[in-house]
C-alpha cells in the first residue's frame, strides 16, 4: 500500500531541491487551480492498480495582457504594402477585394474605413491580381528553391547550378 503522506513529503523535498530560490507568499488563484490539477493527478496515480500511467496532462497558462505595450499583433511579421498612402498586408488586401466582389462600394467603405476611393480599390485589385510586389515574389521563389535544395541535400542528391535555375523557373511559372 502506498502512503500518501510519504509521497507528498518526498515530492515536497524534490520541489525544494529543484527550486531552492522560491519563497513562501500567499497563494494566488492560479496556484489554487494548479494545486487542484495536481491533486487530481495524484489521486489518479494513487488509486490506479498499476504504476504505469497512460495519461497526458498539459498545463497551459495564458499570460496575455491587454495593457502590455510589448504585445505585438500577428500582422506585425507580415510584409506591409502602401497603396495611395494606405498600408495593408497582402492578406488584408485579398480580404478587401473578396468583400468588394459581393458588396457595394459604400458597404466596403463602412467596413474598411481606410478605403477612400474606387481608384484606390482598383489599384489594390491590380496589386492582388499580380500576386504581390516583385520583392515578395522573389522571396517566395527563393524560399521554395532553398527548401528544395535542402531536401535534395538531405537525400544525398547532387545539386548543380542548372538544377537551382530550373527550380526557380518552375516556381516562377507556377
For residue 131, the model assigns a pLDDT of: 72
| Residue 98 scores a pLDDT above 80 | yes
pLDDT of residue 168: 87
pLDDT tens for each residue of 15-73:
888 888 877 788 888 888 888 888 887 777 777 766 555 555 565 555 555 555 554 44
Inform me whether the pLDDT recorded for 94 exceeds 70: yes
What's the pLDDT at 72?
A: 46
Average pLDDT estimate for 88-117: 86
Angle at 159 between CA 158 and CA 160, to 5 degrees: 120
pLDDT score recorded for residue 71: 44
How confident is the model at residue 73, as a pLDDT?
Answer: 45
**Could you tell me where the DSSP H helices lie in the chain?**
4-18, 29-47, 90-102, 105-111, 118-129, 134-154, 161-173
Kindly state the average pLDDT of the residues 72-94. Answer: 69
Query: 15: alpha, beta or left, given left = phi > 0 and alpha = psi -120 to 50?
Result: alpha
User: What's residue 74's pLDDT?
Assistant: 45
Does the pLDDT of residue 79 top 80, yes or no?
A: no
Q: Once rounded to an integer, what is the mean pLDDT over residues 142-171?
A: 87
Residue 104 has pLDDT above 60, yes or no: yes
Angle between helices 118-129 and 90-102 (to 10 degrees): 120
- With cut-offs at 50, 70 and 90, classify the pLDDT of residue 76: very low
Average pLDDT taken over every residue of the chain: 78
Amino acid at each position: 500500500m502506498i502512503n500518501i503522506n510519504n509521497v507528498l513529503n518526498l515530492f515536497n523535498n524534490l520541489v525544494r531541491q529543484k527550486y531552492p530560490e522560491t519563497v513562501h507568499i500567499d497563494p494566488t488563484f492560479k496556484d489554487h487551480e494548479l494545486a487542484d490539477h495536481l491533486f487530481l493527478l495524484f489521486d489518479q496515480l494513487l488509486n490506479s492498480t498499476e504504476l504505469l500511467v497512460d495519461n497526458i496532462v498539459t498545463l497551459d497558462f495564458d499570460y496575455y495582457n491587454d495593457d502590455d505595450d510589448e504585445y505585438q499583433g500577428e500582422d506585425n511579421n507580415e510584409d506591409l504594402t502602401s497603396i495611395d498612402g494606405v498600408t495593408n498586408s497582402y492578406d488584408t488586401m485579398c480580404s478587401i477585394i473578396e468583400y468588394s466582389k459581393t458588396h457595394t462600394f459604400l458597404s466596403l467603405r463602412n467596413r474598411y474605413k481606410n478605403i477612400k476611393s474606387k481608384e484606390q480599390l482598383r489599384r489594390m485589385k491590380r496589386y492582388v491580381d499580380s500576386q504581390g510586389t516583385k520583392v515578395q515574389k522573389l522571396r517566395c521563389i527563393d524560399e521554395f528553391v532553398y527548401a528544395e535544395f535542402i531536401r535534395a541535400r538531405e537525400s544525398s542528391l547532387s545539386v548543380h547550378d542548372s538544377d537551382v535555375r530550373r527550380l526557380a523557373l518552375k516556381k516562377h511559372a507556377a
